Amino acid sequence: MGYPHQPHAKETVVLSQYFGDPEARTYQGWVKRGGYAALRTALARKPAEIVEIVKESGLRGRGGAGFPTGLKWSFMPKEKSKPHYLCCNADESEPGTFKDREIMRWTPHGLIEACAIAQYAIQAEVTYIYIRGEFTEPLAIMQRALDEAYREGVLGANAMGTGKRLDMYLHRGAGAYICGEETALMNSIEGRRGNPRIRPPFPAAVGVFGMPTTINNVETLAAVPHILNRGAAWYKSLCLSNPKSTGTKLFSVCGHVRRPGNYEVTMGFPLKDLLYDLCGGMRGGRTLKACIPGGSSVPILNREETESCLLDYEGCATQGTMLGSGGVIVFDDSADMVYQIMRLARFYAHESCAQCTQCREGTAWVTKILQRILAGDGHQKDLDLLLDLSEQMTGKTICVLSDSCAAPVVSGIRKFRQEFEAYLTGARRPAGAGVAV
């Protein structure tokens, strides 16, 4: 449901069924709602069978890249010679995205159950749930639920009375967007600076503490118990457009819409309906100007593209963007695109881990050039310079943070060039460059 709103008829409520229901947060409440049944059936099966079911369901990663989850799990060594680990990525810091927070706040036991199933499927002894440091409330709720799960014998040395050992711990981040990147997250768990690692080796071979590791997003994992309960065929049937995108997806909508919040819809749902029906359209009767459908790291869509975009991996690609994490940022006709793109670039400049020259220098210079344009001191050549810089920042670095900074800049200049030119020609009054100025 579109927490904090009442469910809309066009929503398909699976993961968000108990959002807003405080009783579902407790162990007793969760069991009453059918919780931990999926874990019980999972533990009675062979790990490989669970991997097969998840593969069959078509579930793909909800953290950004959309990689098939069952396939990822199958990369873990079958013969166990070393400890295995599962990391649950709850670092959620991509501007526009706030769905994992709601999953943790309302259905903490759902996430614990999901992690326990995944952990068993990949034969890991320990799960680390990496939660960003600012999420004080989800941290407290998850800790309470974990304590309960240990007390009730769901976790621990004799998990669910099966004699199998399942351990699960929270690891609190300390303020760094980059720690959401999977290899940076592993470094952060190990007590290091959150610098992404060069791949290969991939985490399934050499992950956290040098051991085989799988990293999955909160929402990806949260879907797993539902798949086990209702079957892979059911999950696969949740599809409105392309059969390669299945299941439901939580979309976090923010910006200039009347009812921002989380909405759960079936893959392939029209973005237009999400914005105009579920979210009630633009605030104050204004008109839509632009939309970023998958979190700040993906290319911006203009109005026409937004209104014809279908929300699944392929539908977004058709419009030249990506589904990403499902963070939908909406701009109405009052938005100053140059200023907002500068603000996004500043985000990446602040969050770059500074290992790669293209990223460290590129993000900083892109921000400075955009600030210069906003201050009315831009040159005609600046737009070409920005495009050139963005080109140098794409596909050349250890992780894709650098590419993520370039995406909104390039698409912004391409689609809203007249706004940039208005600053360059002096047709538009110089704007400030933030509160500090």
Ligand X SMILES: Cc1cc2nc3c(=O)[nH]c(=O)nc-3n(C[C@H](O)[C@H](O)[C@H](O)COP(=O)(O)O)c2cc1C
Binding site for other proteins (CB under 8 A): 83, 92-98, 100-101, 126, 132-137, 167, 169, 171-177, 188-194, 209, 252-256, 260-262, 296, 327, 329, 331, 335, 340, 343-344, 346-347, 349-354, 363-364, 367, 434-436
277 contact partners, CB below 8 Å, separation of at least 6:
8, 10
| Binding partner selected for residue 135 from other proteins, ligand SF4, ligand X, none, CB under the kind-specific 5 to 8 Å limit | other proteins
Show the tokens assigned to 192.
């290091």
Question: Which of 328, 401, 406, 409: binder of ligand SF4 (CB under 6 A)?
Answer: 401
240 is a site residue for ligand X (CB under 6 A): no
Site string for ligand SF4, 303-342 (x = CB under 6 A): ----------------------------------------
Question: Which of 224, 400, 405, 424: binder of ligand X (CB under 6 A)?
Answer: 400
Return the residue nearest ligand SF4 (CB atom).
Answer: 359
- The residues in 194-213 that bind ligand SF4, with binding defined as CB under 6 A, are 196
- The residues in 153-182 that bind ligand SF4, with binding defined as CB under 6 A, are 178
**Residue with Cβ nearer ligand X (5 or 360):** 360
**Residue with Cβ nearer ligand SF4 (63 or 260):** 63
Q: Shortest Cβ distance from residue 70 to ligand X (Å)?
A: 11
344 is a site residue for ligand SF4 (CB under 6 A): no
402 is a site residue for ligand X (CB under 6 A): no
Count CB neighbours of 66 within 10 A.
Answer: 22
Give dist(CA 380, CA 240) in Å, integer. 45
Q: How much is the CA Rg of the chain, to the nearest whole Å?
A: 22
Beta bridge mates, 338 = none
Site string for ligand X, 156-195 (x = CB under 6 A): ----------------------x-xxx-------------
**Residue with Cβ nearer ligand X (180 or 281):** 180
| Binding partner selected for residue 89 from ligand SF4, ligand X, other proteins, none, CB under the kind-specific 5 to 8 Å limit | ligand X
**Residue with Cβ nearer ligand X (216 or 306):** 216
**Residue with Cβ nearer other proteins (12 or 97):** 97
Give dist(CA 146, CA 194) in Å, integer. 26
Please give the biggest Cα pair distance in the chain. 73
Structural contact between residues 270 and 11, judged by C-beta atoms closer than 8 angstroms: no
Give dist(CA 383, CA 393) in Å, integer. 15
**Residue with Cβ nearer ligand SF4 (338 or 356):** 356
274 contact partners, CB below 8 Å, separation of at least 6:
251, 253, 263, 265, 311, 328
Residues that bind ligand X (CB under 6 A): 61-65, 67, 89, 91-94, 178, 180-182, 215-217, 220, 399-401
- Residues near ligand SF4 (CB under 6 A) are 178, 196, 352-356, 359-360, 397-399, 401-402
